[in-house]
Structure 1
Amino acid sequence: MENINEDILKLKGEAPHLEIKNDLIRNMTSDNLYHLALSTRTHNFKEMFQDIKFVCVGGSSKRMEKFAQFIASELGIKTPCINLASETDRYALFKAGPVLIASHGIGTPSISIVMHEILKLLYHARCQDKVTFFRLGTCGGLGLKPGTVVISDTAVDGLFREKYEARLDGAFCGYTQDQKMAFLIEAYKKGVRNIEMESLCFLAMCHQANVKGAVICVTLLDRLKSDQISETKTTLKEWEERPAKIALRYIKSELSKN
Structure 2
Amino acid sequence: MERNSLSTLQPRDNGDSASPEEREDYSSKTGSLMYGMTQTRPDLAFLLSVLSRYMSNPSPTHSRMIKRGLRYLQQTRDHGLVLGGVKKDPESAWSITAWADSDWKGDTVTGRSTFGWLVQLEGSTVSWRAKRHETVALSTTEAEYTALSQCARELAWTRNLFSELFLPLHMPIPLNGDNQGSLKLCRNPELHQRTKHIPLTEHHIREEVEAGNIDVQYVSTHEQVADGLTKPLNAVSHGHFLEAIRVSACPIEEAGRIIWSTEVHDDSVP
TM-score range, shorter chain: under 0.3
Q: How does the TM-score come out when normalised to structure 2?
A: 0.24
Q: How does the TM-score come out when normalised to structure 1?
A: 0.25
